[in-house]
């Protein structure tokens, strides 16, 4: 198996169907990556995540460097062995998390000095340290360290932030290439920044392409700008990135966000939404999300989503899951999360099939009409 090889097997408009081949397995695209923040996809065993159809997981550099510590994970054989997941893992750079700590951080050209949210201890995260942590974890896809531009931002703030991210991208590339054995089997992605401004996104893309990466991410979205603004940026941002490399939209998202992003040429996604929603009682269905805590489900004999092939829907009724969630039983969160992960992977498989058969426009229109119509009917 090659270190990293991306191939496109079909296109339909800007939408692409393809695959990323790596040593630990092939990632079918468009792909959704469940988030395993602290070396676990919450409420799921690894075999259950794989059973849902996931080809790759996301691990969080910030959380893992603080607990249990990247050096400890390395001593224990790396993140794959530590968490019992032998397929590819993408690790984020930790940049978004440290930037979100607000008053607990101090940014400089060197990096970000921050206080741990766990115990207040001081740490410094630089491009070099971020890459080192991801190497110690044994990530298959490593993300360059960047500054997540706040929203809203003035043009001056957006430009300054983007330029710093590009300088950090170059340092990340150099640190990654110095990783010898790990660099020989892993891949490095750069992150496009520039806020909502097309000219800045173009400058960022040009800088990243000059440095050279295995894949490219669109960063700085899903930060409060809303669906329409996000789609507006993707109308120009995705096409600025090399067509022969995978394009990753970070932190997205809702099912309709994903469909619209695939329409614009995005190949990879991650989001905590299916797992977080599962723990709070929200189940995703083709007819829109439902809140299983609602009293109307107390004696409902249907599965969470009629026709869904997941183990939860083929075994349990809404009434039982309603009881578990309302009672605060751990099994309730487990069943809801399992269903949601299956829903997201079914969504991605449907998109891949539609692109391969060149019926993406009809498929996406049918999905969005059905999914959104139920949302509009709700008070």
Condensed to tens digits (0 to 9), the pLDDT of residues 319-378 reads 999 999 999 999 999 999 999 999 999 999 999 999 999 999 999 999 999 999 876 655
Last residue of a domain, one of 230, 246, 271: 271
Cβ contacts of residue 184 below 8 Å, gap of 6+? Answer: 3
Residues 284, 354, single domain; the answer is yes
Asked whether residue 203 is assigned to any structural domain, the reply reads yes
Q: Where are the beta strands (DSSP E) in the chain?
A: 5-12, 15-22, 25-29, 31-36, 57-59, 89-91, 105-107, 112-115, 122-125, 141-143, 187-192, 215-218, 247-249, 268-271, 282-283, 290-291
Q: Using alpha carbons, select from 324, 329, 328, 283 the residue that is nearest to residue 306.
A: 283
Using the 3D structure, point to which of 252, 271, 290 is the last residue of a domain.
Answer: 271
Q: Which residues are catalytic?
A: 92, 270
What would the pLDDT profile of 145-188 be if each residue is shown by its tens digit?
A: 999 898 999 999 999 999 999 999 999 999 999 998 999 999 99
Question: What tokens does 232 get?
Answer: 């507006």
How many domains is the chain partitioned into structurally?
A: 2
Please report the beta strands in 289-341, taking only residues with DSSP state E, as ranges in sequence order: 290-291
Mean pLDDT of 237-259: 97
Beta-strand relationship, 247-249 and 268-271: parallel
Question: Buried b / exposed e across 264-289, counting CB within 10 Å, b at 16+?
Answer: bbbbbbbbbbbbebbbebbbbbbebb
Q: Which two tokens mark 127?
A: 């491009």
Are both 225 and 327 inside the same structural domain?
no
Residues 39 and 67 in one domain: yes
Residue 241 lies in a domain: yes
Q: Of 271, 302, 331, which one is at a domain's C-terminal end?
A: 271
pTM above 0.85, yes or no: yes
The verdict on 262 and 289 lying in the same domain is: no
Mean pLDDT score across all residues of the chain? 96
Do 309 and 230 share a structural domain? no
Give the tens place of pLDDT for each residue, 355-366: 999 999 999 999
- Domain holding 323, by residue range, is 278-374
Let me know whether 112 and 245 are in one domain: yes
**Mean pLDDT, residues 285-311 taken together:** 98
């Amino acid at each position: 198996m090659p270190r990293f090889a991306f191939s496109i097997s079909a296109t339909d408009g800007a939408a692409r169907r393809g695959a990323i081949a790596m040593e630990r397995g092939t990632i079918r695209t468009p792909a959704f990556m469940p988030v395993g923040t602290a070396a676990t996809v919450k409420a799921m065993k690894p075999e259950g995540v794989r059973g849902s159809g996931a080809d790759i997981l996301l691990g969080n550099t910030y959380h893992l460097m603080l607990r249990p510590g990247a050096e400890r994970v390395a001593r224990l054989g790396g993140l794959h062995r530590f968490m019992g997941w032998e397929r590819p893992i993408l690790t984020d750079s930790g940049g978004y998390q440290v930037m979100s700590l607000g008053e607990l951080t101090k940014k400089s050209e060197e990096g970000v000095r921050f206080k741990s949210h766990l115990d207040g201890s001081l740490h410094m995260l630089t491009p070099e340290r971020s890459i080192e942590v991801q190497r110690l974890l044994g990530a298959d896809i490593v993300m360059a360290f960047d500054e997540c531009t706040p929203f809203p931002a003035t043009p001056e703030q957006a430009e300054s932030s983007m330029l710093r991210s590009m300088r950090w991208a170059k340092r990340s590339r150099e640190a990654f290439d110095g990783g010898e054995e790990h660099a020989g089997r892993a891949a490095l992605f750069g992150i496009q920044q520039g806020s909502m401004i097309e000219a800045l996104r173009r400058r960022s893309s040009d800088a990243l392409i000059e440095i050279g990466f295995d894949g490219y991410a669109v960063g700085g979205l899903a930060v409060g700008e809303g669906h329409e603004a996000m789609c507006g940026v993707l109308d120009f941002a995705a096409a600025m990135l090399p067509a022969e490399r995978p394009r990753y939209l970070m932190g997205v998202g809702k099912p309709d966000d994903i469909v619209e992003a695939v329409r614009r040429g995005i190949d990879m996604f991650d989001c905590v939404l299916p797992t977080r929603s599962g723990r709070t009682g929200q189940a995703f269905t083709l007819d829109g999300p439902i809140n299983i805590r609602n009293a109307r489900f107390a004696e409902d004999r249907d599965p969470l989503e009629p026709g869904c092939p997941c183990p939860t829907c083929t075994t349990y009724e809404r009434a039982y899951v309603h009881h578990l969630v309302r009672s605060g039983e751990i099994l309730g969160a487990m069943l809801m999360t399992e269903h949601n992960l299956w829903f997201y992977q079914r969504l991605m498989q449907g998109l891949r099939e539609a692109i391969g058969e060149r019926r993406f426009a009809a498929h996406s229109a049918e999905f969005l009409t059905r999914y959104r119509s139920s949302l509009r009917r709700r008070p």
